Amino acid sequence: MNKHTAINVLFAVSLLCLFFLHLSHGMAWYLYVVLVLLYTGISAAGSYFIGLSYFLYSYTRAAGIQRHIAITFDDGPNEKTGVILDILKENKAPATFFCIGQNIPGNEAILKRMAEEGHLIGNHSYRHRHSFPLQQPQIIAAEIAQCNAAIEGVTGQTPRLFRPPFGVTDPMVARGIAMSGMYSIGWSMRSYDTVVKDPQKLLSKVSRAGAGDIILFHEAGIHTAAILSQFIQNVRAKGLEIVPLDRLLDIDAYDK
């Protein structure tokens, strides 16, 4: 039973109890409103915070037994991916790129380079629309398959790592991912590199990473390329090793 199902049961039981208390003791009607608001709040938090694993299990970190971390980049491939790849190569650091399927046509060479330089490629949906979590599970599964086909068409490998657009999950997304047989991947540290305007702030935030962390970056982040090299040096200076996501989580990144 996932957390969502457990809360549904709890909610139904509470509603029933309230109903009987209402009948027997004349409990105030506003308690129904409080209960519904509570349920709505829990569901909204479960949708927004992928780390809660509310609707489905999402990998967001590794048990920190070893001093490993993984770095991930979302929303590529795009015109900034090449610079990120240069920095990762200079620093011999592996990463995972969660790619948007519709960005691949025209950027095949970048995708090939990711694979050749030892990075993992994950699926980040085909279109990355805000309406993604509102689709029927079959449509979600089809879009995941469409992105996988685009990646496989270039690299020959079919991803199993899926990061939901915006990290938003709900019962439809959970069902679509289950139909696809993908692993749902979140993060434990969000860099907010698309909004943080001060590079020093960004650097000091992400440099606080600790064992087991999965860090979320974007290739198109405002200062991501500018701080990446120093970030890698900072975490290595703390004795942390940057490893590919499949090694951090001990799962397969691709279909065999």
Interface segment toward Zn ion; rule CB under 5 A; list 19-27, 31-39, 70-78, 183-191: 70-78
Question: Closer CB to Zn ion, residue 160 or residue 218?
Answer: 218
Strand partners for 99:
76, 123
**Which residues are CB-contacts of 151 (< 8 A; sequence separation ≥ 6)?**
99, 101, 104, 111, 121, 123, 157, 158, 159
**Which residues are CB-contacts of 41 (< 8 A; sequence separation ≥ 6)?**
none
Do the Cβ atoms of 191 and 159 come closer than 8 Å? no
Question: Closer CB to Zn ion, residue 75 or residue 219?
Answer: 75
Closest separation in Å from C-beta 213 to Zn ion:
19
Question: Closer CB to Zn ion, residue 193 or residue 240?
Answer: 193
Give, as one character, the DSSP assignment of residue 254.
B
Binding mask 23-62 for Zn ion (x = CB under 5 A): ----------------------------------------
Among 47, 71, 75, 76, binds Zn ion (CB under 5 A): 75
Classified as helix, coil or strand, 29 is: coil
Among 72, 74, 185, 227, binds Zn ion (CB under 5 A): 74
Closest separation in Å from C-beta 99 to Zn ion:
10
- The answer to whether residue 218 is catalytic is yes
- The answer to whether residue 74 is catalytic is yes
Question: Closer CB to Zn ion, residue 74 or residue 170?
Answer: 74
Residue 143 as a binder of Zn ion (CB under 5 A): the answer is no
Closest separation in Å from C-beta 100 to Zn ion:
7
Closest by alpha carbon to 192, among 229, 167, 158, 173?
Answer: 167
Closest separation in Å from C-beta 80 to Zn ion:
14
Single out the catalytic residue among 74, 75, 193, 213. Answer: 74
Residue with CB nearest Zn ion? 74
Closest by alpha carbon to 224, among 255, 192, 246, 247?
Answer: 192
Question: Closer CB to Zn ion, residue 50 or residue 88?
Answer: 50
Give helix 30-48 / helix 3-25 axis angle, nearest 10°. 170
Helix (H) or strand (E) holding 184: strand 183-185
**Buried/exposed code over 208-229 (b: 16+ C-beta within 10 A; e: otherwise):** ebebbbbbbbbbbbbbbbebbe
Catalytic residues: 74, 218
Q: Which residues would be at the binding site for Zn ion (CB under 5 A)?
A: 74-75
